[in-house]
Amino acid sequence: MKLTYWVCICLDDSKSYNIRAKTRREAKAQRTENGEDRFSSPRKVTVNYDNAFDLIYQTLGEGGIEEGNAFPLDD
């Protein structure tokens, strides 16, 4: 299975403050609302997983899902 979402990386604080959204449009809106200077442009993240347990394992495992390596897209 595959999960796709959009992330704007928080540039001035912990990655726990990254913006995550279902759509690029929603991520861009949240970035505008929270300060474009504080967050990167939206990046697409795709996670392949076998089942719900595998998804949780990838998310909570050491290093988690590496959003920083997500493919950057132009605005």
Statement: residue 71 has pLDDT above 80:
no
Comparing CA positions, the residue from 64, 65, 20 lying closest to residue 43 is 20
Q: What is the chain's Cα-based Rg?
A: 13
In 3D, which of 4, 2, 49 has the Cα closest to residue 23? 4
pTM above 0.95, yes or no: no
Distance CA 52, CA 33 (A): 32
pLDDT tens digits, one per residue of 19-68? 999 999 999 999 999 999 999 999 999 999 999 999 999 988 887 887 76
The whole-angstrom separation of Cα 31 and Cα 26 is 9
